[in-house]
Structure 1
Amino acid sequence: MSAGLALEGVHTHIGRYHILQGVDLDAPGGLTTMLLGRNGAGKTTTLRTIMGLWRASKGRIALGDRALHSLAASDVARLGVGYAPETMAVFSDLTVKENLILGARQGPMDDRRLAWIFGFFPALRKFWLSRAGSLSGGQKQMLSIARAIVEPRELLLIDEPTKGLAPAIVGALIDCLKEIKATGVTILLVEQNFRVAAEVGDEVRVMDNGRVVHRGSMRDLAADQRLQMRLLGLSLDSHQ
């Protein structure tokens, strides 16, 4: 089982804006932890700060016993952390194959793992030698996720993975995440689709105004509509 992730008193400033204001967050090893909250709560900033794309101005971030808060993003990635950003951030002038090669830091891509990825995202096989810039938005999202998982990771940070995906692909993504979790990978997942969050999440942390304001099991939150309304301003029934 992979190591757990812990943030203690993490602050992040972006220019003159104080976005994270003392985040205390844990993602237990080998489980999928959902990071939920209203727009602007600080979820994406939290993932980017963990990844080293934005530097924490105060506090501690650790994966197991390894401190991350002082590392550059490239060094965080070398520790086995995969990141699929909300913006997808694919290299438009490179092919699908070349994008995935960039994600394979440990050496040549494993054919069996690629076949496993293609089972969930067959469009990537179809457009293997096509420029990533020619893909649809949903296909770019698939590529971004595939690049994060092209090699086994210890920790996966995934931001809004179902955004722009057709329902059939959302189902494939859910199956993919469940299989990854079964291998013992720690996952921290931001997701606006509450039904997806309820299906794949073990734990949940809810953010508001740059802090974590709720922690518990995803099952308990999914069963409590009043708590959903208080924390998120919506209920599971609103996604019927």
Structure 2
Amino acid sequence: MTTPLLSLDGVHTHIGHYHILQGVDLTLPRGELTVLLGRNGAGKTTTLRTIINLWQASKGRIVFDGEDITHWRTPRIVSRLGVGYVPENMGIFSLLTVQENMRLAAATRHIDTSRLEWIFGFFPALKKFWKTPAGLLSGGQKQMLAIARAIIEPRALLIIDEPSKGLAPAIVKDLSQAILELKQTDTTILLVEQNFGLAQAVGDQVAVMDDGRVVHASSMAELTADTPLQNRLLGLSLEAHA
């Protein structure tokens, strides 16, 4: 079995008076893509934000490559460990150009030319609109920019929250291909995704959340092959929503 890059052990998170995560156990195998599934409100986004300490875990441990990072501050997690995060709202600067958005995401504000060309191979539209304000991009192009910003530096772990939300099927297909190509690098990926066709196409492992806990973890192939299990865990089948 692949050595885990990241593990959550009994993680709880409170937001105000609300007890959102109620003992999350999650393991990310190194070099693989794990999809986090679950109904709305199950705790998926809270799990992502807790991993990078945007929201502080109130109990439990988060271990990255053998080191307890539960109480590390977010900038230290991002810079020291090489973690990229693409939030559901994309987090781009609408008034800045694509180039300026990318430059801000680079650690030294200097973009490595060869890495940029590698990114353009995934997202050629970004090269076309390099000098265009990001706010003028289409929804799919903004999502491409959000992911490109997260990988402008080499990442050990890339966390992506619902990248296909609101995108046309053709753009989702391009996004799927880009993620598949990213999997060929050394980057471990944690993906929250409601598009089950995309999840099935790119996922190696899957964890299903409900009521603030992980209630199922397996290979994606195992879940894909078991329609009754899909219905029991998610109230639907992957095939019906592909």
Q: Which TM-score tier does this pair reach, normalised by the shorter chain? A: over 0.9
8 Å CA contact retained: 1:2, 1:155 = no
Counterpart-to-counterpart distance in 1, 2:67 and 2:109: 23
C-alpha change, 1:237 and 1:3, in structure 2 (3 Å) is closer
CA-based RMSD: 1.7
TM-score scaled by length of structure 2: 0.94
1:177 to 176, 179, 183: 179
Does the alignment pair 1:138 with 2:106? no
SS in structure 2 at match of 1:4 = strand
Q: 1:238 is matched with which residue?
A: 240
Q: Which residue of 2 aligns with 1:21?
A: 22
Alignment deviations for residues 53-93 of structure 1 (CA, whole Å, 9 cap, x no partner)? 11111111111122222112111111100001111111122
Please give the residue correspondences for 1:120-135 in structure 2 after superposition, counting only pairs within 5 Å. Answer: 120-135=122-137
How far residue 232 of structure 1 moved from its aligned partner, in angstroms, is: 0.8
1:10-29 deviation line (CA, Å, top 9, x unaligned): 11111111100110100110
Which residue of the partner structure matches residue 157 of structure 2?
A: 155
Question: Percent identity of the aligned residues?
Answer: 63
Contact preservation (8 Å) 1:19, 1:45? yes
Structure 1: runs of 5+ lacking an equivalent: none
What is the aligned partner in structure 2 of residue 84 from structure 1?
A: 86
Tell me the distance in 1 between the aligned counterparts of 2:74 and 2:198: 28
What amino acid is the match of 1:209?
Answer: D
SS in 2 for 1:138: helix
Q: Which amino acid aligns with 1:110?
A: D
User: How far apart, in 1, do the equivalents of 2:4 and 2:153 lie?
Assistant: 17
Query: Which among 197, 200, 203 is matched to residue 202 of structure 2?
Result: 200
Cα distance, 1:107 vs. partner?
5.7
**Partner Cα separation in structure 1 for residue 27 and residue 4 of structure 2:** 11
Counterpart position of 2:166: 164
Deviation track 1:172-204 (CA, whole Å, cap 9, x = no partner) reads 222222222222211111110111111111111
Q: Is 1:59–2:60 an aligned residue pair?
A: yes
Cα pair 1:12 1:19 within 8 Å, conserved: yes
Structure 1 equivalent of residue 47 of structure 2 = 46
- Indicate how the Cα distance of structure 1 residues 174 and 9 shifts in structure 2: closer, same or farther if over 3 A, else same: same
The verdict on how the C-alpha distance between 1:2 and 1:134 changes in structure 2, with shifts beyond 3 A counting, is farther
The unaligned stretches of length 5 or more in structure 2 are none
SS at 2:214 equivalent: strand
